[in-house]
Structure 1
Amino acid sequence: MSTPFHAAPTRYDSMPMRRCGRSGLDLPAISLGLWQNFGTDRSPETQREIVLHAFDRGITQFDLANNYGPPRGAAEEMFGRILATDLAPYRHELVIATKAGYRMWPGPYGEGGSRKYLLASLEASLRRLGVDYVDIFYSHRFDPTTPLHETLGALKTAVDSGKALYAGISSYSATRTREAMAVADRIGLDLLVHQPSYSMINRWIERPDSSGESVLDVLGETGLGAAVFSPLAQGMLTRKYLHGVPEGSRAAAGGPLHTSFLSQENLSRIQALNAIAGRRHQTLAQLAIAWVLRDPRITTALVGASSVAQLDDTLGALENLHFTRDELRAIDRHAQDGDINIWAHRSSNL
């Protein structure tokens, strides 16, 4: 039987809060993402320990999606159990986010951006989480087969019904983000936040697309917040892969982190960035988090964790978020795109 949870009274003492775009919502500089490490293949006790420790350290946003697991839906079910048994008294302090867009169930209505899929998925997510509403509901990816007014109209229904407090989009290109903002304005939907991948070796949101704008340009001009995911490049920007692929690692197990990503060119970049981190008295993970947070358009960095120790190491980034111009120039020499953006082709038809 687990010990009853009482949140640390110091939980807000050291976590910087950042305003999410032009809204009234503050988010922690570092949020916990439950994409990996939260499913039936992991110890329930360890998952509970990580979530509760995160809250004790000032992490108030917990980022999920309908298909996180394994199996799909397991992460929401796990978080729902922790919410019911431990975090229920603190629900008003939590920002719970979930998403829909990728494959969740069989048939033509089990993925995409249709109204039928998004709203059915939200209802299922609420049941798994055991809540009446989520704080943020995202369109998980751009769907070129569904009109944007239908996808965003479903998000508006979710907000208008009170089943979501805010709406967001994820992995939309600069052009699609601009289009989404125009549609949202026409239908009276206030989009809160964009969730793109971003790291020192995946800098696509800085680059202009065919419109001449970058995602960051659009976010800065429109006032959307940015919750960036995979800032550690699925673990590549940690010490784990400095000398290749160790047994038992995520890359060795297969899945979204392909061993091909750990090319000699990428490893050389990562080793050089690790040396810079050492000169700053940081771990490579801490450098990577501090670097994405250097841009004021970034609201929060979504990080994963397989243990409390790993989470604490990542949170150490908050102890040194300042960069000199020389440090940024040195980082830029090695922080180059490593061809690891696995979401690009599935998120935009541009």
Structure 2
Amino acid sequence: MRSLRKVTPVDYERQPYRRCGRSGLLLPAVSLGLWHNFGEAKPLESQRAILHKALDLGITHFDIADRYGPPIGAAEAAFGRIFPRSLRDEAVVTTKGSNPMWDGPYGKGNSRKHLLATLDRSLARLGLDYVDIFYLHRDDEDTPLEEQVATLDHMVRTGRVLYVGVSNFSPERTAEAARLLRGLGTPLLVHQPSYSLLNRRIEESLLGVLEQEGMGCVVYSPLAQGLLTDRYLNGIPADSRAAEGRFLTPERVTPQVLAFVRALAGLASARGQTVAQLALAWALRDPRITSVLVGASSPEQLEANVAAVDRLDFTEDELATIERAAKESGVES
């Protein structure tokens, strides 16, 4: 029998795969998020090169949302144009709903009316019959949680979605959503929160809820929108995301943050890593974290980020050094 390695370009040995909670689904430790750099702002061939490099690096998990672009919907459309259909069974493709997508009362939120319509539009843009994971991108207090989860259950039962998840939900609402879905017979697979060395709020209670419920955790912004890289060690570059005010404002690049990142740079160098690789490895140190989502502006940047998996171990002294640096710099941890 021919091995999978010979019939697909995916390198499954490049990085570890982790089980998503107590489910049967495995995800790569580092996954590709299409929040940035996919859409109409960059040439399609550049996006194709990043996607192909992802497969070379063992990335089979692609995280998208209906609103990602620019313009909105463009990330899904670009993925639909460049993803090799021959590899559909080797990929975990996710998307999200809840976002404002069109004008009028049905163009946003978590009503059954909006969610089913936006899922159908996403599938059309992606050119797929189903997505592997559909997330509620955020909670909707104006829609009963029972209606929200019943809609997720319906998506699974109609074959348009294999698994369901939530993003940016509170620990309490996550536990309640998991309970309601369990009663319907559809497990809540995963939560997608923000998590990084500069944003550790999920450690307070959410990770405990996920562990208790048997859910996975796929984190976004593990590099804090680029702050946890070598890019800002000497201030704000003129062509940086912070300088342009794109998802990161100059006000966030404080002296305290810069002091912390410089301290991380010293530790990273001693470990043979970049600041970004250290930050990704740190997020993955907790076994409750299934995968970290990274964006990429080039194949080379993606390859550098995936190299974080080459050194995932931390000594007690290294972890203590990180905690001490956070405290001394005044960065909340």
Q: Give the TM-score taking structure 1 as reference length.
A: 0.90
Aligned to 2:110: 113
Aligned to 2:24: 24
How many pairs were matched up? 326
SS at match of 1:38: coil
Rounded Cα–Cα distance in structure 1 between residues aligned with 2:269 and 2:111: 48
Q: Name structure 2 gaps, 5 residues minimum.
A: 1-5
Aligned to 2:211: 220
Q: Over residues 209-264 of structure 1, what are the superposed CA-to-partner deviations in whole Å (9 max), with x where a residue is unaligned? A: xxxxx000001111100101110111111111111111121111113211111111
| Alignment-mate amino acid for residue 178 of structure 2 | M
| Alignment-mate amino acid for residue 24 of structure 1 | G
- Contact kept in structure 1, 2:10 and 2:55, CA below 8 Å: no
Aligned to 1:328: 319
SS at match of 1:70: coil
Deviation at 1:175, TM superposition (A): 1.2
> Does 2:165 match 1:168?
yes
Q: Give the TM-score taking structure 2 as reference length.
A: 0.94
Deviation at 1:273, TM superposition (A): 1.2
| Alignment-mate amino acid for residue 91 of structure 1 | R
Aligned to 2:56: 56
Rounded Cα–Cα distance in structure 1 between residues aligned with 2:301 and 2:7: 20
- Contact kept in structure 2, 1:7 and 1:55, CA below 8 Å: no
RMSD between aligned alpha carbons?
1.7
Rounded Cα–Cα distance in structure 1 between residues aligned with 2:59 and 2:20: 15
Which range is displaced more, 184-193 or 308-317? 184-193
Which range is displaced more, 57-66 or 177-186? 177-186
CA 7–170 in structure 1, closer or farther in 2 if over 3 Å, else same: farther
Rounded Cα–Cα distance in structure 2 between residues aligned with 1:153 and 1:267: 45
Rounded Cα–Cα distance in structure 2 between residues aligned with 1:105 and 1:16: 40
- Contact kept in structure 1, 2:193 and 2:218, CA below 8 Å: yes
SS at match of 1:316: helix
Aligned to 1:266: 257
Q: Over residues 316-348 of structure 1, what are the superposed CA-to-partner deviations in whole Å (9 max), with x where a residue is unaligned? A: 1011000001101111223479589xxxxxxxx
- Contact kept in structure 2, 1:206 and 1:215, CA below 8 Å: yes
Which range is displaced more, 7-16 or 129-138? 7-16
| Alignment-mate amino acid for residue 197 of structure 2 | M
Rounded Cα–Cα distance in structure 1 between residues aligned with 2:89 and 2:148: 28
Aligned to 1:46: 46
Rounded Cα–Cα distance in structure 2 between residues aligned with 1:334 and 1:73: 41
Rounded Cα–Cα distance in structure 1 between residues aligned with 2:297 and 2:150: 37
SS at match of 1:97: strand
Aligned to 2:186: 189
- Contact kept in structure 1, 2:296 and 2:302, CA below 8 Å: yes
Aligned to 1:73: 73
| Alignment-mate amino acid for residue 203 of structure 2 | E
Aligned to 1:344: none
> Does 2:290 match 1:294?
no
Deviation at 1:300, TM superposition (A): 0.5
Q: Over residues 149-206 of structure 1, what are the superposed CA-to-partner deviations in whole Å (9 max), with x where a residue is unaligned? A: 1111111111110000000000111111111112212222211110001000010101
CA 334–148 in structure 1, closer or farther in 2 if over 3 Å, else same: farther
Deviation at 1:7, TM superposition (A): 7.6
Rounded Cα–Cα distance in structure 2 between residues aligned with 1:178 and 1:335: 31
Which range is displaced more, 21-30 or 329-338? 329-338
Identical counterparts, % of pairs = 53
Aligned to 1:345: none
Aligned to 2:138: 141
- Contact kept in structure 2, 1:103 and 1:111, CA below 8 Å: yes
CA 96–326 in structure 1, closer or farther in 2 if over 3 Å, else same: same
Rounded Cα–Cα distance in structure 2 between residues aligned with 1:105 and 1:247: 34
Rounded Cα–Cα distance in structure 1 between residues aligned with 2:172 and 2:46: 41
Where do 1:229-268 residues align within 5 Å? 229-268=220-259
